[in-house]
Amino acid sequence: MKKNSDLLSKLLQKFSSMLPWSVALICMPLIQTSYASEPQPWQWNFQPPATPVMEQIIDFHNLMFFVEVGIVLLVLGLMVYIVVKFNSKANPKPTKTTHNTTLEVLWTVIPIVILIIFAVPSMKLLFFMEKAQNPEMTLKVTGNQWYWSYQYPDNGNFEFDSNIIPDEDIKPGQRRLLEVDNQVVLPVNTEIKVLLTARDVMHNWAVPAFGIKIDTIPGRINETWMKVTKIGTYYGQCSELCGVAHSRMPISVKVVSKEDFKKWLKKAKSEFASSDNNKMLKLAQLKK
Ligand SMILES: [Cu+2]
């Protein structure tokens, strides 16, 4: 896939150098420049991909964009040709031609072929995104008005809430509206099954660098997966209008080495042992 995208960007660079500046400008979003895992000022391309899913989404986008630019240029060219060649001054006596079978077959068949070219990789990608093949651990994400809760069912089953850091508490260097009190911590290069639901209204757990944007729906569990290949911090936001503080429930994922994750797990298990969930469990056990 990496080879594919390299070839595509080489082709695109050639393509833009051959055409006027306006076309080069249209193709600019395809050339990846920024490597941060957060939104950048004036950014108009994707965040750098951190999972195989996002890498494939970008490849698929590049394929579509390349073909689409060709279609736009072709249609624009035809329109300019018609305006110049067949206006009332240049062509005062129009012909009365109404049908051309060859042309009609062509303009039906060519779009069908283009749609098939898009449909095959599109369906492949949809199936690839849907389920983890060999998940090594599970993360459960719950949307609440207006914060996220994270649960580690196969790592002690502790749960914690992740709330926004309000503007007045933001320290220098921190990102306003993106920073949280408790980050989700996950191990690098690990296939993680993600289960998502909500407690009150619909929310949407969206992290651009992971290629994940999935609704969390009360009474229903949605599933996706991720395998983050780079250590770092990744930011996302709720992407489903969920009420007055919709813009104040950011997502912050800290991806660490497998060893650091084990260390964090130990700490987290004791730190979050007093969560409501565990209190309820203990109460239930006492009642028995
Ligand atoms: Cu929300």
CATH of the domain at 277: 2.60.40.420
Cα(204) to centroid(ligand 1), Å? 6
* Claim to verify: residue 241 and residue 151 sit in the same structural domain: yes
Is pLDDT above 90 for 274? no
Cα(128) to centroid(ligand 1), Å? 26
* Claim to verify: residue 142 and residue 85 sit in the same structural domain: no
Is pLDDT above 90 for 259? yes
Is pLDDT above 90 for 146? yes
Supply the pLDDT for residue 1: 47
Cα(175) to centroid(ligand 1), Å? 19
CATH of the domain at 123: 1.10.287.90
Cα(131) to centroid(ligand 1), Å? 23
* Claim to verify: residue 50 and residue 19 sit in the same structural domain: yes
Cα(144) to centroid(ligand 1), Å? 7
Domain boundary among 100, 130, 160: 130
Supply the pLDDT for residue 173: 83
Is pLDDT above 90 for 17? no
Instruction: In whole angstroms, give the CA distance from residue 178 to residue 234.
Output: 10
* Claim to verify: residue 126 and residue 245 sit in the same structural domain: no
Confidence of residue 22 (pLDDT cuts 50, 70, 90): very low
Cα(64) to centroid(ligand 1), Å? 31
Cα(243) to centroid(ligand 1), Å? 7
Instruction: In whole angstroms, give the CA distance from residue 6 to residue 8.
Output: 5
Cα(223) to centroid(ligand 1), Å? 17
Confidence of residue 29 (pLDDT cuts 50, 70, 90): very low
Instruction: In whole angstroms, give the CA distance from residue 257 to residue 255.
Output: 7
Cα(139) to centroid(ligand 1), Å? 18
For the chain, the average pLDDT equals: 86
Q: How many angstroms separate the Cα of 243 from the Cα of each of 144, 179, 221? A: 11, 20, 21
Is pLDDT above 80 for 171? yes
Instruction: In whole angstroms, give the CA distance from residue 66 to residue 13.
Output: 12
Cα(202) to centroid(ligand 1), Å? 7
Cα(201) to centroid(ligand 1), Å? 8
* Claim to verify: residue 10 and residue 70 sit in the same structural domain: yes
* Claim to verify: residue 142 and residue 242 sit in the same structural domain: yes
Confidence of residue 15 (pLDDT cuts 50, 70, 90): very low
Is pLDDT above 60 for 32? no
Cα(98) to centroid(ligand 1), Å? 55
The beta strand positions in the chain, using DSSP E, are 137-144, 147-151, 159-162, 184-187, 192-198, 203-207, 212-216, 222-226, 232-238, 251-256
Cα(39) to centroid(ligand 1), Å? 19
Supply the pLDDT for residue 159: 95
* Claim to verify: residue 69 and residue 8 sit in the same structural domain: yes
Instruction: In whole angstroms, give the CA distance from residue 202 to residue 196.
Output: 11
The whole-number average pLDDT for the span 226-252 is 95
The whole-number average pLDDT for the span 247-259 is 95
* Claim to verify: residue 142 and residue 277 sit in the same structural domain: yes
Per the CB < 8 A criterion, the answer to whether 51 and 229 are in contact is yes
Question: Range of 177's domain?
Answer: 137-287
Cα(103) to centroid(ligand 1), Å? 51
Cα(148) to centroid(ligand 1), Å? 8
Q: Model-level pTM greater than 0.85?
A: no
The whole-number average pLDDT for the span 60-88 is 94
Task: Find tokens 């108009």 and name the residue.
Answer: 44
* Claim to verify: residue 145 and residue 268 sit in the same structural domain: yes
Supply the pLDDT for residue 34: 31
The whole-number average pLDDT for the span 133-144 is 96
Specify the amino acid at residue 260: D
What total number of domains does the chain contain? 2
Cα(130) to centroid(ligand 1), Å? 22
Cα(161) to centroid(ligand 1), Å? 14
Cα(47) to centroid(ligand 1), Å? 22
Tens digits of per-residue pLDDT, 92-112?
998 888 899 999 999 999 999
